[in-house]
Structure 1
Amino acid sequence: MGLSGAIVTQLYHAIYGKDEKSLILLLGWLPAAVSLVFLPTVRRMKVEHEEDELKVFYRFLYISLGLAGFLMIMIILQQKFSFDRGEFGGSAAVVTFLLLLPIAVVVAQEFKSWRRLNKPAALENGISPSPGSPPLKNTTPISLLPKKPKSQQQEPIKTEWWKNVFNPPPRGDDWTILQALFSFDMFLLFLATACGVGGTLTAIDNLAQIGQSQDYPKKSISTFVSLVSIWNYLGRVMAGFLSEHLLIKYKFPRPLMLTIVLLLSCIAHLLIAFNPSGGLYIASILTGYCYGAQWPLLFAIVSEIFGLKYYATLYNFGSVASPVGLYLLNVNVAGYLYDKEAKKQLSMAGKIRKTGEELVCNGTVCFKLSFVIITAVSLFGALVSLVLVLRTKKFYKSDIYKKFKEAEEAAAEEEEEKNDDGRVVRNGGGGLMEETKHGLKQ
């Protein structure tokens, strides 16, 4: 999602050169073609966690970082030199290769899993049957594992959807949809996101007009779009990793990271409003980074405060903040003030606007007031986010992953229970085996 703008730009120049009308055609057929090609890969899969799954995840991440780095180099080179269609074709070929490279990681991992699954269960568990022992048979049901007394088992709290709407459980537990939607925490999060995402998305959507009004060449405007795309990706990656690291090591509240990102976006908006020399380049980087960074923070905060039971619904409710903020700031602020200034310039020039003629505004004044207002709105969003920080400070100082750790421990206890005589009971894929000093016993 983050890199798509820069990727499509490279493919567009490679396929159509500089034919601007064909860009809409590319956006029409390319996503549909990709969907059709990869449609056979959609299937039901059984979730099986593997020991090296984190290593695989990092391989995907390193490939995507490599793709982002290559795109960044291409943007710098294309800004300094004039590329022909063949050179764009070479760049697009490398981009396509890096996009498809994760398939090699998948194939290697599937082969490794296939080899592991074809090993005998005993060898997989590191147990060698004693000489002369019969072949292993998993006949003992898993239900014979020792269970905790009922007094020690935590029964899930059942809450009817129409009850306790205004009496939610503690933060971190599974809230119902109505409990979350009517909570003050969700209101604060929604408002802060609408202000932040609405402002940065307004800047992204008007980037071409901003560049034109401030007399940047077309080549530079294309660079701005690619910069936003790459830093959108880096914002998503860095905000997720950094906030997680700070949370685990220093108990740094994740909403505070959102506050910092909103304050950083104010700098980008002021650069657009006052247009210092080369300011739009820096503004493009900051805008892309802040827009990308807000999404992982928003969704992580939703999952942490309101639980995972109804996460899919609450995830989409959080996403609604984007079009709401965009409509208010893009249409009612930036669009309205741009048209007003364009009509004023047209009137001062003594020209009459023809029917269907597009309004064109020139100068820093076109977006100055709009982005001063957007800066104020983003600053307000940061203050709202700060209120959420104060409300959730105690929660984030606690161990917010405690319940997940307890669930993992419970699963581990079911997997491997120690008997009183020191024997170890191992789950062998549907049955049990006991490892004793005399060998293997079913």
Structure 2
Amino acid sequence: MNESQRWIGVPASLFLELCAGTPYAYGVYSGHLKGTLRLSQKEVNEISSLGNVGLYLSLLGGVFYDRAGPKLTGLIGAIVSAFGYFLIFQVTADNLGSPSVYTVAFLFAIAWQGCSWEDTAAIGTSVKNFPHDRGLVLGLLKSFFGLSGAIVSSLAAGFFPSSGKEVNGEISLVMFLSVMQLTLGIGCSFFVNVLPFASRKKLGYDGDKVFKKGYYIIGSLSLYLVFTTILQANIDSHTLALVGSLLMIPFFVALAGLPFLKSSTEERISEESSLLDSRNNNNQLRDRTDESESLSAESDQLSMENLRPIECLTRSLCFYLLFLSLFCGTGVGLMVINNISQINKAIGGKSSFKITLVSLMNVGNSYGRMIAGYLSEKYKGYISRPVWLMYALTSMCGSQCILALSQQEGSVPVLLVGTILMGTSYGAFWALGPTLCAELFGTTHYGKNYALLNLAPALGGYVVSVCIAGYLYDFYGEVDEDGSTTCIGKNCFESTFLISAALCVVGIFSCLMLQRRTQQWYAEY
């Protein structure tokens, strides 16, 4: 029964990640938010960056998860997020007058804080249930998280007329997110469980095949979204959008059915093995003692150290090196995600092309998570995960150089290439970061440690988006009659991209130091 519960938790965690990734849809409706509230670009970035603080400042969710478990954590997260999105809907519908920038940012922080609880419930549970295959599992889950923005935008485009292209559609999209949290988020929370140590077996050949099928399904869904998004951007037809949304349902059904693809023979053998282990124990007290000793041994073998959050901060240089690397990489990625609409407009891109960029960026985000998760797990005996993180930062640095070139040349195709590469690089951080957190600092206090590490993108996103990108955009832009700022030309973002590339270089050097400090442990791992 425990083995069945472990596998049922996989699609439940996948769809929790889908709900948790809804902040990536911000780029679709941020332009409408800017016009409705008459905001400058710096203020638009402040809203998203402070909202990201809610998303990544998940220490409260981590503490709650370690104490109360995944079900309540996911349930509370879904309810909080639904409430936050409902209040944002009232703002975008102009039902709350003209709230201040910080009031709106607070509402986004509420909605996205709930998303962080859902993410903690899904990721924390999967790290514990699949301790021998963390990279493979997290690559699958985080890929769905990265694809969330493209999925919800496409669904809303089909079920709400003109969604993503006109004001009414963008308002409907926000309400759609609230309803999605109340239904899908709450429903999936009941199927996520942390299993006893005896049930946390290494994946066999058949189990490995199931996860590969999951990769194929999400990869196919990503390509399908690229096709439908480009088609909808060039053919303004609600019927076409509706058909495109309905055709995504088989992909969701296939993901929900992943547990049933597993061989009943392997499951029976695993369950018999767990039952035999249980019968060999003399009494319940002995059961607990053996499980505690096994968990301790597993931590020693599968984690470099087993640290509390305070120990990460006071005695682990590796924590700060990993934090700095993620600060640089994710901060740069969030800057592009939050400003993609304005980046496109600055070089004269069509308004409809914005949706194509958002979708392709999310698809790249999804593929980056799958590629980094799968390859880092498959070749972990040859290339350590800090090296994979360095590769991701190098790729992110290259994407910023390409994006800077797109501003200089005013080339939309170059912008497209840079955006896809950026999304892929950014996604890789989210497959590698959570896995490194478990390997370097243990799983006993994983919820809190993971939440602490998530401060890196929160701070990085604010520094790069607001203090650098927002400031330079407003400096070179002009104030419109309605009080908002518009900037057209290469100066709007070119300097920002070059500064971002330099930040990535800092992150690369941080990764090199992390690799040197952990190479002995990874050589024995």
Q: Do these two structures clear the TM 0.5 threshold for a shared fold by scoring above it?
A: yes
> Structure 1's 258 and 43: CA in aligned 2 closer, same or farther, altered over 3 A?
closer
> Structure 1's 280 and 37: CA in aligned 2 closer, same or farther, altered over 3 A?
closer
Q: What are the equivalent positions in structure 2 for 1:121-160 lying under 5 Å apart?
A: 142-143=281-282
Report the Cα distance in structure 2 between the residues aligned to 1:75 and 1:237, rounded to whole angstroms.
21
Structure having the larger proportion of residues in helix: 2
Question: Relative to structure 2, which stretch is displaced further, 20-29 or 316-325?
Answer: 20-29
What is the deviation of 1:22? 2.6
Q: What are the equivalent positions in structure 2 for 1:307-386 lying under 5 Å apart?
A: 307-343=442-478, 354=481, 356-386=482-512
Report the equivalent of 1:64.
218
What is the deviation of 1:270? 1.6
Runs of 4 or more, structure 1, over 6 Å off, are 153-158
Quick one: which of 232, 243, 259 aligns to 1:90? 243
Is the contact made by 1:199 and 1:326 (CA closer than 8 Å) also made in structure 2? yes
Q: Deviations over 1:274-318 (max 9, x none)?
A: 314321101110111011100111111111111221111111111
Establish whether residue 226 from structure 1 lines up as the match of residue 359 from structure 2. Answer: yes
Report the equivalent of 1:243.
376
What is the deviation of 1:230? 0.6
Report the Cα distance in structure 2 between the residues aligned to 1:339 and 1:109, rounded to whole angstroms.
55
Quick one: which of 270, 292, 297 aligns to 2:401? 270
What is the deviation of 1:82? 1.7
Report the equivalent of 2:253.
100
Report the equivalent of 1:255.
386
Question: Relative to structure 2, which stretch is displaced further, 318-327 or 275-284?
Answer: 275-284
Report the equivalent of 2:333.
200
Quick one: which of 283, 295, 312 aligns to 1:180? 312
Report the equivalent of 1:422.
none
Report the equivalent of 1:12.
156
Paired residues, what number? 352
> Structure 1's 37 and 206: CA in aligned 2 closer, same or farther, altered over 3 A?
closer
What is the deviation of 1:374? 1.2
Report the equivalent of 2:419.
284
Report the Cα distance in structure 2 between the residues aligned to 1:22 and 1:74, rounded to whole angstroms.
17
Kindly provide the amino acid, as one letter, of the partner of residue 2 in structure 1. Answer: G
Report the Cα distance in structure 2 between the residues aligned to 1:397 and 1:363, rounded to whole angstroms.
50
Q: Deviations over 1:57-108 (max 9, x none)?
A: 33333322221121123234445x4241111111111113312332344467
Is the contact made by 1:171 and 1:395 (CA closer than 8 Å) also made in structure 2? no
What is the deviation of 1:34? 4.9
Kindly provide the amino acid, as one letter, of the partner of residue 175 in structure 2. Answer: G
Report the Cα distance in structure 1 between the residues aligned to 2:224 and 2:509, rounded to whole angstroms.
38
> Structure 1's 389 and 157: CA in aligned 2 closer, same or farther, altered over 3 A?
same
TM-score (norm 2): 0.61
2:349 match: secondary structure: coil
What is the deviation of 1:397? 1.4
Report the equivalent of 1:73.
227
> Structure 1's 171 and 66: CA in aligned 2 closer, same or farther, altered over 3 A?
closer
Establish whether residue 294 from structure 1 lines up as the match of residue 429 from structure 2. Answer: yes
- Work out the percentage of aligned pairs sharing the same amino acid: 27
1:335 match: secondary structure: helix
Q: What are the equivalent positions in structure 2 for 1:113-128 lying under 5 Å apart?
A: none
Report the Cα distance in structure 2 between the residues aligned to 1:5 and 1:281, rounded to whole angstroms.
17
Report the Cα distance in structure 1 between the residues aligned to 2:185 and 2:465, rounded to whole angstroms.
36
What is the deviation of 1:156? 8.7
Report the Cα distance in structure 1 between the residues aligned to 2:378 and 2:192, rounded to whole angstroms.
33
1:101 match: secondary structure: helix
Report the Cα distance in structure 1 between the residues aligned to 2:229 and 2:293, rounded to whole angstroms.
56
Is the contact made by 1:231 and 1:289 (CA closer than 8 Å) also made in structure 2? yes
Kindly provide the amino acid, as one letter, of the partner of residue 325 in structure 2. Answer: A
What is the deviation of 1:229? 0.6
Report the equivalent of 1:393.
519
For structure 1, list consecutive stretches of 5 or more residues without a partner in the other structure: 126-138, 159-168, 347-352, 401-442
Establish whether residue 29 from structure 1 lines up as the match of residue 176 from structure 2. Answer: yes
Is the contact made by 2:207 and 2:262 (CA closer than 8 Å) also made in structure 1? no
Is the contact made by 1:229 and 1:288 (CA closer than 8 Å) also made in structure 2? yes
Is the contact made by 2:331 and 2:461 (CA closer than 8 Å) also made in structure 1? yes
For structure 2, list consecutive stretches of 5 or more residues without a partner in the other structure: 1-144
What is the deviation of 1:157? 8.1
Report the Cα distance in structure 2 between the residues aligned to 1:274 and 1:310, rounded to whole angstroms.
44
Kindly provide the amino acid, as one letter, of the partner of residue 167 in structure 2. Answer: E
> Structure 1's 35 and 184: CA in aligned 2 closer, same or farther, altered over 3 A?
same
Report the Cα distance in structure 1 between the residues aligned to 2:452 and 2:335, rounded to whole angstroms.
20
TM-score (norm 1): 0.71
Is the contact made by 1:274 and 1:364 (CA closer than 8 Å) also made in structure 2? no
Q: What is the root-mean-square deviation in Å for CA atoms of aligned residues?
A: 3.4
Is the contact made by 2:304 and 2:440 (CA closer than 8 Å) also made in structure 1? yes
- Answer with 1 or 2: which has the greater Rg: 1
Report the Cα distance in structure 1 between the residues aligned to 2:320 and 2:307, rounded to whole angstroms.
15
2:376 match: secondary structure: helix
Question: Relative to structure 2, which stretch is displaced further, 190-199 or 176-185?
Answer: 176-185
Kindly provide the amino acid, as one letter, of the partner of residue 321 in structure 2. Answer: L
> Structure 1's 141 and 297: CA in aligned 2 closer, same or farther, altered over 3 A?
closer
